[in-house]
């Protein structure tokens, strides 16, 4: 009876961690997409720079949330460690993206943003 209860509790924890992870990846994907929209506004309007700058902070926070969700799905939930590595790599890419944006290097900043969006959609489709 105790073994069955432990297995049920672990399965519930994995489902909860997995749904939080899915939500975090979806939020990250949405924020990256909104960054692309605000980049277009950056070129056409006076408030585009403000939106893109604020969006960068939100996107970076979403990347940190993705890492937190991956760790919580892995450690207490007993899930696989692979999402933690993916989320860590994504946080590194987001850090590079922020540095390139601040340094005004659009020749690398833009393609990296497209790559990040593609990887985020792929991670979302895998979940």
Mean pLDDT by 10 residues, the chain (127 residues): 50 65 96 95 92 96 96 85 94 97 95 97 92
Q: Could you tell me the residue ranges of all domains in the chain?
A: 2-126
Please report the pLDDT score of residue 69 as a whole number: 94
Alpha helix positions (H), the chain: 2-44, 48-74, 82-102, 106-126
Please report the pLDDT score of residue 3 as a whole number: 54
Residue 97 CA to residue 91 CA, distance in Å, equals: 10
Residue 90 CA to residue 93 CA, distance in Å, equals: 5
**Residue environment code for 104-126, b if the CB has 16+ CB neighbours within 10 A, otherwise e:** eeeeebeebbeebbebbeebbee
């Amino acid at each position: 009876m105790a073994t069955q209860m432990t297995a049920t509790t672990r399965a519930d924890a994995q489902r909860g961690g997995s749904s939080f992870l899915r939500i975090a990846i979806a939020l990250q994907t949405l924020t990256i997409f909104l960054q692309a929209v605000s980049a277009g506004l950056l070129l056409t309007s006076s408030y585009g720079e403000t939106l893109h700058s604020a969006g960068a902070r939100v996107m970076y926070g979403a990347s940190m949330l993705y890492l937190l969700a991956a760790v919580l799905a892995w450690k207490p939930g007993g899930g696989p460690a692979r999402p933690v590595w993916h989320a860590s790599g994504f946080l590194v890419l987001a850090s590079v993206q922020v540095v390139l944006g601040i340094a005004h290097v659009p020749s690398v900043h833009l393609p990296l943003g497209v790559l990040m969006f593609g990887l985020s959609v792929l991670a979302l489709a895998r979940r």
